[in-house]
Amino acid sequence: MTYCVGLKINKGLVFMSDTRTNAGVDNVSTFRKMRCWTKADERVMVLLSAGNLATTQAVVSLLDERTKAPDERTLSMLETPSMYQAARLVGDTVKEVIRQSAPVGQNADAFGASFVLGGQIRGMEPRLFLIYPEGNFIEAGEDTPFFQIGETKYGKPILVRAYDPAMSFEETIKLLLVSFDSTLKSNLSVGLPLDLLFYERDSFRIGYEKRIDQDDAYFRTISDGWSSALKTAFKSLPDFSR
Amino acid sequence: MTYCVGLKINKGLVFMSDTRTNAGVDNVSTFRKMRCWTKADERVMVLLSAGNLATTQAVVSLLDERTKAPDERTLSMLETPSMYQAARLVGDTVKEVIRQSAPVGQNADAFGASFVLGGQIRGMEPRLFLIYPEGNFIEAGEDTPFFQIGETKYGKPILVRAYDPAMSFEETIKLLLVSFDSTLKSNLSVGLPLDLLFYERDSFRIGYEKRIDQDDAYFRTISDGWSSALKTAFKSLPDFSR
């Protein structure tokens, strides 16, 4: 599996993804699940992917090829007039890839992949989309300001409880690391290193990008600190009494 | 779905289960998923169930009928010489029920059910088992002192982090309520009221039993308190800095 989160705050967008892929437990590899397309001072787009690695790589390759060959008649990620059209392009590409894989007779579910796409194009608001394996998609709103894909359940409770649209990038990264740490501790199919990226609204360039591995001092602080902070929080509640 | 946890501490066994069952989102009902068999001063057995309601009810009914008709040649829950044999009896009954459902042509997976069985028989240690839909089972040990069935992921991180075998019953109930509250807040298919039971080692009677509903004062304290305690814990960690 995989764990990726795209999150919208007032200040912009924050993305985090793990890098573990596995086919069974004895075929484990590290692959980047976060891709960016940028056009200086005009647009930034970030794509997170979960699901069948062949499908997600094919989708990204097709999107990339189109981006590199602007003479093609299909629009590329760098030319879509809006984020909505970019989400449609990703959705159509997923459908195309899955359709090509399906006829060999295997279950189409096995080729499934989900994506989170976020970004901003000059003159428009930052937007965040979740694209389903079927190629259709939904957009984040005020009530649902983040999307998770992959192994989403372990890390959801803290996101639900601590998210606040007024958070700073620094706090949001802390929140995501706590959510990822809970998932890493509970599920073998999600693994370090993590990729982190944030985009500041109206900046039209990537704000900050980092790969966080086992030795990252801040990650260690959060991982160890959260265990003891949780225990303290737990102790602060009154015990049950009959 | 469902969420049930059976947990082993030095002092004994603690069980908690929700009561929501659903077939689709518009067919929601409340059913008890916790059953007990007791023989005063000799044995206590508690069974938690998750999965297809027809299967779990059939299993419990068969176990109950055998318990009520001791002349039958098959052993009943009140006669098994050990907890291991009781787990085998549950496992064999699950296999029997699923075998009877399967021939109608539907997917056997749809009839699946899992069980947590815990208890103690005089002269032996308290034991805790997880019984799979296939009828085989595993036993809790020092390294894996609890079993969850149903919608297990949301509530796992706090169990992993805060469990301690030396906990009191009062702390253990608090831990389970936090784990259930996280699940309730994240997943619609798990619902109040909750059933709670604890068994004190070598007592050979149920120590305490309670149904916890929306208005339960302690549940409200934990649910509200945990949200703010989590936020405080989260704030206590240092923010990310570049």
Q: What is the pLDDT of residues B201-224, one digit of tens each?
A: 999 999 999 999 999 999 999 999
Taking a C-beta distance cutoff of 8 angstroms, is the pair B211, B193 a contact?
Answer: yes
Residue A68 confidence (pLDDT) above 80: no
Contact call for A233 and B229, based on CB within 8 A: yes
**pLDDT at residue A105, as a whole number:** 54
Q: Residue A19 — pLDDT band, cuts 50, 70, 90?
A: very high
- What integer best gives the mean pLDDT of chain B? 91
Q: Residue B101 — pLDDT band, cuts 50, 70, 90?
A: confident
Residue A66 confidence (pLDDT) above 60: yes
**pLDDT at residue B104, as a whole number:** 59
**pLDDT at residue A233, as a whole number:** 93
Residue A213 confidence (pLDDT) above 90: yes
For testing the chain B interface, which of A168, A237, A242 should be mutated: the one with the most B CBs within 10 Å?
A: A237
Number of CB atoms found within 10 A of residue A95's CB: 15
Nearest CB neighbour to A218, from listed B185, B221, B240: B240
For testing the chain A interface, which of B224, B237, B242 should be mutated: the one with the most A CBs within 10 Å?
A: B237
**pLDDT at residue A86, as a whole number:** 96
User: Which domain, by its residues, includes A110?
Assistant: 3-234
Nearest-angstrom CA–CA distance, B97 and B93 = 6
SS (H, E, C) B96-109: HHHHHHHHHCCCHH
Q: Is residue B241 part of a domain?
A: no
Q: Residue A24 — pLDDT band, cuts 50, 70, 90?
A: confident
Residue B75 confidence (pLDDT) above 80: no
Q: Is residue A11 part of a domain?
A: yes
Contact call for B208 and A242, based on CB within 8 A: yes
Q: What is the pLDDT of residues A173-185, one digit of tens each?
A: 999 999 999 999 8
Asked if A186 is an interface residue toward chain B (Cβ–Cβ < 8 A), one would say: yes
User: Residue B129 is encoded by which pair of tokens?
Assistant: 């088992």
- Chain A residue with the nearest C-alpha to that of B158: A230
Contact call for A232 and B237, based on CB within 8 A: no
Q: Is residue B180 part of a domain?
A: yes
Q: Is residue A171 part of a domain?
A: yes
Nearest-angstrom CA–CA distance, A110 and B239 = 39
Contact call for B240 and A226, based on CB within 8 A: no
Residue B106 confidence (pLDDT) above 60: no
**pLDDT at residue A103, as a whole number:** 62
Asked if B144 is an interface residue toward chain A (Cβ–Cβ < 8 A), one would say: no
Cα B86 off chain centre by: 16
**pLDDT at residue A71, as a whole number:** 65
pTM for the full predicted model: 0.87
Q: What is the pLDDT of residues A140-154, one digit of tens each?
A: 999 889 999 999 999
Asked if A158 is an interface residue toward chain B (Cβ–Cβ < 8 A), one would say: yes
Q: Is residue A242 part of a domain?
A: no
**pLDDT at residue B109, as a whole number:** 67
Nearest-angstrom CA–CA distance, B123 and B120 = 9
Q: Is residue A183 part of a domain?
A: yes
pLDDT, greater one: A28 or B82 = B82
Contacts of A226 in chain B (CB under 8 A): 233, 237
Q: What is the pLDDT of residues B120-178, one digit of tens each?
A: 999 999 999 999 999 999 999 998 899 999 999 999 989 998 999 999 999 999 999 99
**pLDDT at residue A27, as a whole number:** 84
User: For strand B43-51 and strand B113-121, is the pairing parallel, antiparallel, or unpaired?
Assistant: antiparallel
Contact call for A174 and B231, based on CB within 8 A: no
Region A95-117 average pLDDT: 79
CA distances from A214 to A67, A196, A218 (A): 34, 14, 10
Instruction: Based on DSSP, count helices (H) and strands (E) in chain A, helices before strands.
Output: 5, 12
Asked if A144 is an interface residue toward chain B (Cβ–Cβ < 8 A), one would say: no
Q: What is the rounded (10 degree) CA torsion for B55, B56, B58, B60? A: 160
> Interface pTM (ipTM) of the complex?
0.84
Helix axes B217-236, B169-186, angle to 10 degrees: 80
Burial A131-150 (b: 16+ CB within 10 A, else e): bebebebeebeeeebbbbbb
Q: Residue B67 — pLDDT band, cuts 50, 70, 90?
A: confident
- Chain B: give the shortest CA distance to residue A191, in Å: 16
- Chain A: give the shortest CA distance to residue B46, in Å: 21
Nearest-angstrom CA–CA distance, A102 and A134 = 13
Q: Is residue A163 part of a domain?
A: yes
CATH assignment of the domain containing B87: 3.60.20.10
Contact call for A186 and B227, based on CB within 8 A: no
Residue among B176, B181, B163 nearest B228 (CA): B181
Region A60-82 average pLDDT: 81
Taking a C-beta distance cutoff of 8 angstroms, is the pair B83, B124 a contact?
Answer: yes
Q: Is residue B192 part of a domain?
A: yes
Residue among A176, A65, A30, A209 nearest B237 (CA): A176
Nearest CB neighbour to B239, from listed A160, A162, A171: A171
Q: Residue A197 — pLDDT band, cuts 50, 70, 90?
A: very high
**How many folded domains does chain A comprise?**
1
Between chain A and chain B, how many beta carbons pairs sit less than 8 Å apart?
119
Asked if B188 is an interface residue toward chain A (Cβ–Cβ < 8 A), one would say: no
- The β-bridge partners of A37 are A45
Nearest-angstrom CA–CA distance, B121 and A209 = 59
**pLDDT at residue B1, as a whole number:** 80
